[in-house]
Structure 1
Amino acid sequence: MQAFFASIEHFLYIDWTKRIENKSKNSIDKSKGDETVKQHSKKTRKYMAVATVCGALLFGLVTSSPINTYVTQLKVGVTPVQGQITIEEPFKEKIEQWQKEREEAPQDAYLDPVWKAIPGYNGRVIDVNATIAQMKKTGKQDESSIVYKEQMPKVQVEQLGAHPIYRGNPKKEAVCFMINVAWGNEYLDKILATLDRHKVKTTFFLDGSWVKRNPELAKKIYDRGHEIGNHAYSHPDMSKLGEARIRQEISKTQDIISKTIGLKPSLFAPPSGSFNQRVVEIAHQDYQMKTILWTADTIDWKNPPVGTMVERIRKKLDKGVLILMHPTDSSSKGLDQMLTLAEKKGLKPTTVSEVISSRRLP
């Protein structure tokens, strides 16, 4: 770029010098030759100075930030026009079509009269520059080249206050087979093996007294990569407890889990699903915990026939659903079928925290 402007300056200098010399030859009087030549030499130096200043100004203009931005955007097929970004051909038509068809607005968290707190769901917009770069890299102009950016909702579920959560957002293609553990040790190994086979990480809500009796089993669950939640300490009816006892049940379980695996859960599942607003508020305000219930129940504690249980869940499997389980004979035998059903429906079995997050699945 510097060489380019140096060439322009040199050209202007030569051109103006020749013009002045020609003019000088025609106008110089032989009798006043020396004086006239001196005067025109001064003019030549003035033109040279003007040319130098003009060249410097032009160089500064072209190397300025806005011009550099313009040149950079031209390289990826995007041009700024009066403060806006317009897409250059041949990408314009394709990307504008994708923007209409594929972009989605974020959905705020909200309160539902039946399902209470419903988490929000991130929107998505096309990252134009990254998408064009991908198309140039692959030579393809199909949907596999689209690069998205997520847009978070203005209202997240945490901003709704103290409310129970029964499900994820109805648009989220994920489910959780969450497992409440206070008994059933003999079925845990089979359940863990099935989860491993499907490469699924889920959420286990652990009873505090169970953790105290079975620290090695609690560690095994955690070490396999599963999420750990709080299921109170002694499996009480939380709706019938006073504030002090509610805090005791939650605190003792937080402490024993922290001592055993090194972390304190952020999710609380009241035993038997029994709670009141006081329980939800104490969990939320005192422990920054979300109170988790369920959308669908295996009713596995009654040990139903595996086929009956699987069919019950099949009818309710949908986006954002939380399925309640326990370590029982029925669930240990039917989990493989239920996970397979979810996967065939295009639903990702995962943790409670992932299901109720506003994040889109990759």
Structure 2
Amino acid sequence: MKFIFSARIPPWYVMFTLFTLTTIFFTNSLADLGYGIPTRPGLTPIFQGNRETPKVAFACNVFWGEDIMPDMLNILADNQVKATFFIGGSWARRHPESLKLIADAGHELGNHSFTHPHPNRLSKEQNQAEIIRTEKLIEEVTGIKTRLYAPPYGEYNHLVLEAAQELNYLTIMWTADTIDWRRPSPDVIIKRIEGKLQNGAIILMHPTEPTLKALPVLIRLIKARGYTIETVSDIIK
């Protein structure tokens, strides 16, 4: 592509204009894709807790796995560990007894939307409707009002973040991902987390069979490294 510069338009001005337009396009594209371009200070999700204290948290997203849940809760109880379970509303509607088991065991409850949509494809109002519908159902079943939100697929843009913030929610992401929804071997899950242990780490998981088998080993490993395992709310204080 050739540019013809006149005496009235210096070359540096043309290059500056092209750079500015490219930056605007790139920034807007990132926001549309959900890579967290905030519209104002403070409008960002939380990827990690307090970096000054040796604490980590399990964040378990639940939209299936009710058959795994009783054994997972038993393992956590045997090891005196409290986790944060981000509950899918439609799952809770189908399995209120499983939701109540989690709450009665003293674990923290978070919000994971109602229908598991792609949040970036929704308006702010649609995102808020997903959160509110789930919040009300969880409260009806357990008496607990959720205040942490884990957007499905880990998607977020400025509308998703604003939707949660306006409802007084903190948007929670993760530091280390088990990627257990792909059903890898327990050893793979352990190795994925082992290399990312650090103060304030939020460890993402789901109720799957491989996770169930890896969980006791993972808990022992974390404690042997000198970390305590607490809820997400505890480690982000």
Relative to the length of structure 1, the TM-score reads 0.54
SS in 2 for 1:186: coil
Find the partner of 1:302 among 162, 177, 182. Answer: 182
Q: For residues 66-215 of structure 1, what are the structure 2 equivalents within 5 Å?
A: 161-215=42-96
Query: In structure 1, how many angstroms separate the alpha carbons of the residues matched to 2:42 and 2:197?
Result: 28
Q: Is contact 1:165-1:290 (8 Å) kept?
A: yes
Please tell me whether residue 330 in structure 1 is matched to residue 190 in structure 2: no
2:139 maps to what in 1? 258
> 1:143-167 CA distances to partner (integer Å, 9 max, x unpaired)?
xxxxxxxxxxxxxxxxx63210000
Partner letter of residue 122 of structure 2? Answer: L
1:339 maps to what in 2? 219
Partner letter of residue 350 of structure 1? Answer: E
Please tell me whether residue 316 in structure 1 is matched to residue 173 in structure 2: no
Q: Is contact 2:54-2:199 (8 Å) kept?
A: yes
SS in 2 for 1:175: strand
SS in 1 for 2:85: strand
Q: Which portions of structure 1, spanning 4 or more consecutive aligned residues, are displaced by more than 6 angstroms? A: none
Partner letter of residue 310 of structure 1? Answer: I
1:263 shift after superposition: 1.9
Query: In structure 2, how many angstroms separate the alpha carbons of the residues matched to 1:264 and 1:161?
Result: 23
1:308 shift after superposition: 1.4
Q: Is contact 1:237-1:275 (8 Å) kept?
A: no
Query: How much identity, in percent, do the aligned residues show?
Result: 41
Q: Is contact 1:175-1:355 (8 Å) kept?
A: yes
1:247 maps to what in 2? 128
Cα RMSD of the aligned pairs, angstroms, is 1.3
Please tell me whether residue 268 in structure 1 is matched to residue 152 in structure 2: no
Structure with the greater alpha carbon radius of gyration: 1
Query: In structure 1, how many angstroms separate the alpha carbons of the residues matched to 2:147 and 2:158?
Result: 18
Instruction: Say how many residue pairs are matched.
Output: 199
Find the partner of 1:218 among 95, 99, 124. Answer: 99
Query: In structure 1, how many angstroms separate the alpha carbons of the residues matched to 2:215 and 2:155?
Result: 25
Q: Is contact 2:83-2:230 (8 Å) kept?
A: yes
SS in 2 for 1:254: helix
Uncovered stretches (5+) of structure 2, i.e. residues with no partner: 1-34
Query: In structure 1, how many angstroms separate the alpha carbons of the residues matched to 2:204 and 2:97?
Result: 24
> 1:292-332 CA distances to partner (integer Å, 9 max, x unpaired)?
00010001001111111101111111111001000001101
1:233 maps to what in 2? 114
1:244 shift after superposition: 2.2
More helix by share: 1
Find the partner of 1:290 among 155, 170, 174. Answer: 170
Q: Is contact 1:230-1:265 (8 Å) kept?
A: yes
1:284 shift after superposition: 0.8
Query: In structure 2, how many angstroms separate the alpha carbons of the residues matched to 1:300 and 1:244?
Result: 31
